[in-house]
Every structure is written in structure tokens, then in C-alpha cells.
Amino acid sequence: MKPIVGIDLGTTYSAIAALDSLGKASIVPNSEGERLTPSVIAFAENDPPELVLVGREAKHLRDLEPQNVVTDVKRDMGESSKQWRYRGRTYRPEELSSLILRKLSLDAESQLGKVRDAVITVPAYFAESHRRATMDAGELAGLNVSAIINEPTAAALFYATNHEVNGKIVVFDLGGGTFDVTVMRVAGRDIDIIASEGDRHLGGTDFDRVLAEIVNKKARLETGAPAFPSDIELQKFLNQAEERKRALTTRPNQRVLIQNDSGRAQVSVSREELEEGISPLVAKAEMLVEAVLDEARLDPGEISKVLLVGGSSRIPFVQRRLEAIFGFAPVTEVNLDEAVACGAALYSGLNALKENAALVPAGVRSGLSDVQLVEVANHSYGTITVSTDEETGRRILANDILIPKGSSLPCSETKTYYTMADGQDVIEVQITQGESKDPDNVNIIYQENMPLPPNRPAGRPIQVTYSYDKNQRMECSFRDVESGDLMAVELSSLEGALEAETKRKSRAALEEFQIE
């Protein structure tokens, strides 16, 4: 059978998982025999120009050539203004991410055969531009991205297919660079997403920098000089920070050897000092937990389980704070680092069944036959309208929401609006993302003028339809009812996504690289 795979494209680590002949998901190790691949890219000075390092070797080079190493690129996905320049060429976030995806897929091919179709995960709170950029990254890596799936949903899907679960559960996903919290209703293998919140700039990377700040402050007090006299020294420490954090989960203190302008010295950091330093960051996560419970209209006492996902959720301080909220300890019944990729592979299998079950092996069909998943929209989508204030008689702008946040997917909504003036020959089409009715408090993700037939009276109907499918893709149409003229907008082609020709040229250039 052709490989059925899912990819967790992470901030600090990435992984690829595949389904076996019985529909069971498991991680595919990379060419180094590792189950997780560091999401690090290096353009080493002394390497041939066609060679790019991805993974462990790139991470090691961070100590020596930090200026040639890219980390945390996921945090900048969808940000067209963010670019990097190496070896005379400029790279966008999705281009660099494609190198990570290509490394994963090439390593998997040696064990599975040609990898073509894949599901890629994204943080639940990724906005539309970030989701489009993730899909572009997959295409640039030579993959057909059959769908994207929210990371907490993928983790819950894997969890529900491996454990007996019933009730309302919270998935607390604190990874290397992003945080999501999702509330869902689970009954056996039926999963209904209720609500999600998140922060795409909150994760283990921020904890690493807190640890570096603590070491730097103590070094100044004890030696009179900063711990990291150069960026190279700081990068070396950040490379080791993950191991230091893990050590502090089991030991009360960690001694750090530093080399600064005062010579060699040792600095001791206690678990309590780290917990105090990261407390404001953990508090941000707690506020989002409270927000998602409010959105779901649930009290902590109505939650039956809290499922931990993401390496940073291992921190005992984080777990204690969650226990204080819910009154019971969170569970780690699945591998925190692998659950998301494995869930993505299961979702890939579900998609394959819906597209053409006859092409899916009988064992996979049997293994997934009773799995049901209902995802929701994680943002509201609307359009800017003009109405008349009843008290003042003045015309006012308002954001009218067609698809509210939390709508079960797939969904479709149609509303009819009307032209404002006699002879109006154009309307301004605006697609918004956000929860507010105030146009100033939402993002306009698409804007264009739609021509109308001339010389008509006011009040002509314009029919607007938004359709959001289960694979997180949305199409919008604006139809002039009388003439039948139609403007159709597919969000995956909006500004921020790569144009087809740009994508073709970029992919051709990236394919010239040898990935190691």
C-alpha cells in the first residue's frame, strides 16, 4: 500500500508517523535512527553550496556558527515580512520549513516507499495566513497536503484510539514554541471538539531564555561579568537548556559551568528559581485554560481528564498548576512528543477512507471504521457591512459574522445583503477573521472590489456564502442575484500564500539542495 503518513511540524522538534497494515500509527525514525528530528536548518560555511543540514547535525552547528543556523522558524509561519538570507539567497519561513518536511519525508521513504500524500499539523490557534503557509511548505517539499489538522485534535485522536475515554477532556499542548488548549467531548472513538484557545508565541523556547536570564544574572552577581560574553556563548547555552530543564524536573539544583571575561566559574540554579522565573509564562497558559472553559461554558469540575501533550508539559510546576485548577493530576498516558504525529497519521487514514475506501487496505479500513471526528472553526469569519443606526440615522460599519468561532466542520452559511445607492456599480468585498462586531478589532484577510451592472436602483440583493470544510479550507462567494455575476474566493490563494509561479520556481530551487 502507499504510505499513509502524518507530520508534526514542530517549533523545536518534528516527527513523521505512518499507519501499518492494521491501521495502527507509529513514528518512523529518521536516517540517524532518532524518533524526533530537531527543527533546525544549517547553511554551514565550509559545506558545498548545494548541501543543507537539517536535524541533529544542524543543531550541533548552532554552537559554532549561530549566524548560519535557523531555529524556531514555525513561529514566523505566514509572516511575509520575515525573511532570512544565506549564501546570497533570501528565504521565507515556508521555504525553510519545507526543508524540514523534505528531510522527514525522504528519511521515511527509505522505509516506507515513496511518500506523496500527507496530513500536516498546526497549532489550533493558527490564523488563516499561518495555515496557508504551512500548506505551501508541504507543497514546496514535494508533498500533496491532503489536509491540515489542529495539534490538540491530532493528539486526542491518537489518545482515543489507544485508551478507553469517555467524557469531557482538556488537551493541554505546551510545545517548544506554541501553546494550545482544547476542550472536547469524547465517547469511545467519537471525538467532538468544543473550543480551543492558544498562543503561538508561548513554549519551551521561552522557558529556555528565562533559564539563560537566571544564569546571566547570577553570573553578574558572583563574577561581575555576564555569563554569555558573545552570541555564540549564548547559543551554546540555549542548545543545552533543554537538558538543564529536564534535569531540574528530577533534581533540586543544576550547576552550570560558564566561561566569561572573569574566567571559568560555576553557577547553581535551583528548581525553585526556574519555577519563579517561568511563573508569568505559565500564568498566561492558565488564563487561556480559563478562557477556553468559559467559551465551552464548562466549570473545571465538569472535566473528566486533562491530557498533556508537548515536551514542555513535562515540567512538574506546570502539572501542579493544572492540578490546582482541576482538582486532579493531568495524565500522560500517551507519548507527549509523538502523539501529535501519530494522530495526524490516523487522520490521514480517515481522509483516505473518505476519498476512496477501496484503495485502502482491509486492515486499515477495519482499524479505523468506528472512528468519528468533528472539528470546529477556531476563529470567526465575516464581512464588513453598512447599516443605519436606529437612534442617529447615521450609516455605520459593522463586522457581520457568517461562520462563528466553534462552528462544527464542515459548515456553510449564506446571507443576503443589499446595495446601498441608486446606480451603485461596485461593492467592496471584505472577508474578516475575528470575533468582534467592530471592524477595527478584526483582521481583514481579503479585500477587493466587485463590479456590478450599472444604472440599477438601490436595494439589489447580494448573496454571500462562506463554506468551511473539514480539512480547514474555506471558500467564499459573493453573487449578484439579479445578474448572476459571481466572485469566488478560495482562502488558500490569498495574499500571504505563494503565487503558483513563485511556488514553482521556489520548489525547483529548493529541490537542488542535498538534505543531510
Whether 229 is in a domain gets the answer: yes
Residue 244: which of 221, 278, 220 has the closest Cα? Answer: 278
Cell representation of residue 103: 528531510
Please report where in the chains the cell 536516517 appears, as a residue: 31
Residues near 370 by Cβ (< 8 Å), separated by ≥ 6? 188, 189
> Nine-digit cell at 14?
518534528
> So what's the pLDDT on residue 467?
94
Instruction: Note whether residue 298 is domain-resident.
Output: no
pLDDT at 94: 95
pLDDT at 492: 57
Is residue 277 within 8 Å of 214, Cβ to Cβ?
yes
358 and 507 share one domain = yes
Statement to judge: residues 451 and 364 lie in one domain: no
What pLDDT, on a 0 to 100 scale, did the predictor assign at position 45? 87
Helices (H) and strands (E) in the chain, counts: 11, 27
- Other CB atoms closer than 10 Å to residue 283's CB: what's the count? 11
Q: What is the mean pLDDT of each run of 10 residues along the chain (516 residues)?
A: 93 96 95 96 90 94 88 90 90 96 96 95 88 92 93 92 90 94 91 91 93 90 83 82 84 84 82 95 97 95 95 93 97 90 96 87 87 88 86 86 92 95 94 92 92 94 92 88 93 60 85 90
Q: Answer whether 346's CB lies under 8 Å from 158's CB.
A: yes
Query: Are 467 and 412 a contacting pair, CB within 8 Å?
Result: yes
Task: Report the relative pairing of strands 41-42 and 69-70 from DSSP bridges.
Answer: antiparallel
CA distances from 369 to 3, 147, 156 (A): 18, 19, 17
Is 131 found in the same domain as 79?
Answer: yes
How far is it, in rounded angstroms, from Cα 130 to Cα 508? Answer: 23
Q: Give the number of other Cβ atoms within 10 Å of residue 22's Cβ.
A: 12
Sheet of 514-515: strand order equals: 69-70, 41-42, 51-54, 514-515
User: Does residue 320 sit within a domain?
Assistant: no
pTM of the model: 0.89
- Could you tell me which of 24, 319, 343, 305 has the C-alpha nearest to residue 164? 305
230 and 345 share a domain? no
Structural domains in the chain (count): 3
Q: Is residue 426 part of a domain?
A: yes
In a domain, 222, yes or no: yes
Domain range for 247: 204-275
pLDDT at res. 495: 45
For residue 28, what pLDDT is reported? Answer: 98
Q: Which of 29, 22, 21, 18 is nearest to 1 (CA)?
A: 21
Q: Are residues 34 and 157 in the same domain?
A: yes
**348 found inside a domain:** yes
- 461 and 508 together in one domain: no
C-alpha cell at 31: 536516517
Q: Is residue 423 part of a domain?
A: yes
Look at residue 199 and tell me if it is in a domain: no
Residue 405 and residue 379 in contact, taking contact as beta carbons nearer than 8 Å: yes
d(CA 444, CA 452): 22
Pairing of strands 25-27, 117-122: unpaired
370 plus 385 within the same structural domain: no
One domain for residues 10 and 123 = yes
* CATH at 340: 3.30.420.40
